[in-house]
Structure 1
């Protein structure tokens, strides 16, 4: 009787590589933003933890989905910072992780209530649609605007009475999301064009996209300062002026400076959103 063939070794999965493939910094930033919103809105420790867990699961699913979809393009452009492209993590493991995180995201989102859960899952679905199709179209900005715009609704709809957030807060978050999209593309714009990605920033070019990113983030700050009822405080006018000066001073600069300027202004908008939510 012939001996059985030797068992094939199982593919190993690097935990560090799997973590890096989920886009950990943006995932952590959005999760902390959502947790801050929940705490500021009075969701309490349990509600804040639930919000953070649902958003973290959604962000993990989106990040892993993004790297899996971009695998061929990342290999073509020689991305050594991508664990999938270097072979450190098997594609099947990232696919499984993305769907597992999505499966966890659904019940965690719905645990906040049907309206809140529907708002968050719509945003997660928009992010998946970006990865799978819309990234290479002129509507590439739309999933970002929709997902960010719905994040305050996920928080407030989980409160007693399920109130919607004020329109100025929803608008500010949506503008911030769209601005983040234009800014986020800037460092990789040349690689995107080389591999056939034709989203709106790639169609408009680096200079126009940097200017649009700055205008969108400035518009977000303006809504946060001017939108709430009551007179604008000197602090609000000063913050708006400083945001404008920061964006104006970095918009035409070379290299990654426009990207960093928009990101710094966006961070200021996030803090302002949290402050407005608390009041």
Structure 2
């Protein structure tokens, strides 16, 4: 829901019309559903062993075959929906979806667990701009900033269940870094994304941009300090999510800086 919502905001920001924007959002929604359902189906035994009450499969509220079929159907729907945005844009998005599936099947257990997030988030702005007339590419700084945000999101997403994942044999990059290291990594990456976005936006630095960097820096320090508190809590996780929210706002501002039909400076 978060990624699909971000796509809708960015589609409006870069100037996609209602019809083109709807196709792009539908393609992303189908891809996200396929990735999410695939992930839950593959993690079924580990989620049951961990006692995950928030997973319908783990509590036997839905059959594994149903979820597996739904994942495949969503993936099949994603193909024509993506290509309806143009061959180049659609192929790029299908590559992002393939990165998500590669995470589920293999990379989540390796030191390269961050790579699918970096690729998929980084190329999301390109998917949308390549849907525009003239097929313009976004600037490199926007791709880098989105990739940093995606990698930070990966670290933040791991935090609530990091101990259970490690016990279940999942050893991605955040798990190898540990809780404190993952909090620091997520916060620093989110801060770096904010800085790249602020410096990359055309025009002079406005008080709003400078203020957002200040807010992100304060949240970064809060997250890192909270990770070293003697009592485990959700403060670092909430601080990192707040940083991601600030970065998302900047990402939309970056999209608004684009003039439809022209290439970014």
What TM-score do you get using the length of structure 1 for normalisation? Answer: 0.89
1:46 to 13, 19, 22: 19
CA contact (8 A) 1:251 1:261 kept: no
Task: Report deviation, 1:168.
Answer: 1.1
The within-5 A match list for 1:143-154 is 143-154=116-127
Distance (Å, rounded) in 1 between the aligned partners of 2:115 and 2:185: 14
Equivalent of 1:218, from 183, 191, 197?
191
Counterpart residue number, 2:236: 258
Q: CA deviation at 1:250?
A: 2.5
Counterpart-to-counterpart distance in 2, 1:197 and 1:230: 44
The higher radius of gyration belongs to: 1
Q: Tell me what 1:96 maps to.
A: 69
CA positional deviation for 1:119: 1.2
Deviates more, 1:263-272 or 1:139-148: 263-272
Structure 1 distance, partners of 2:247, 2:20, is 23
State the TM-score, normalizing by the size of structure 2. 0.93
Superposed CA RMSD in Å reads 0.9
> Aligned pair count?
252
- Residue 227, structure 1, aligned to residue 200, structure 2: yes
Q: Which has the higher contact order (CA 8 A, sep 6+)?
A: 2
Instruction: Give CA deviations for 1:142-184 in whole Å, capped at 9, x if unaligned.
Output: 0000000010011000111111111111111100000000111
Quick one: distance in 2 between partners of 1:104 and 1:191?
33
Equivalent in the alignment of 2:263: none
Check the 8 A contact 1:179/1:214 in 2, yes or no.
yes
| Alignment of 1:267 onto 2:240 | no
Partner Cα separation in structure 2 for residue 135 and residue 119 of structure 1: 22
Q: Answer whether contact 1:207 1:252 (CA < 8 A) is retained.
A: no
**Paired position in structure 1 for 2:109:** 136
4+ residue stretches of structure 1 with deviation over 2 A?
228-231
Are the aligned partners of 1:149 and 1:174 in contact in 2 as well (CA < 8 Å)? yes
The residue that corresponds to 1:278 in the other structure is: 256
Structure 2's unaligned 5+ residue stretches are: 227-231, 258-265
Q: What's the offset of the Cα at 1:86?
A: 1.1
Q: Deviations over 1:64-119 (max 9, x none)?
A: 00100100100111111111111110000000000000001110001110110011
The alpha carbon displacement at 1:230 in A equals 3.1
Runs of 5+ consecutive residues of structure 1 not aligned to the other structure: 1-27
Distance 1:69 1:255 in 2: 29
Pairing 1:119-198 to 2, within 5 Å after superposition: 119-198=92-171
In 1: Cα distance, 2:201 partner to 2:250 partner: 12
Q: Does 1:111 align with 2:111?
A: no
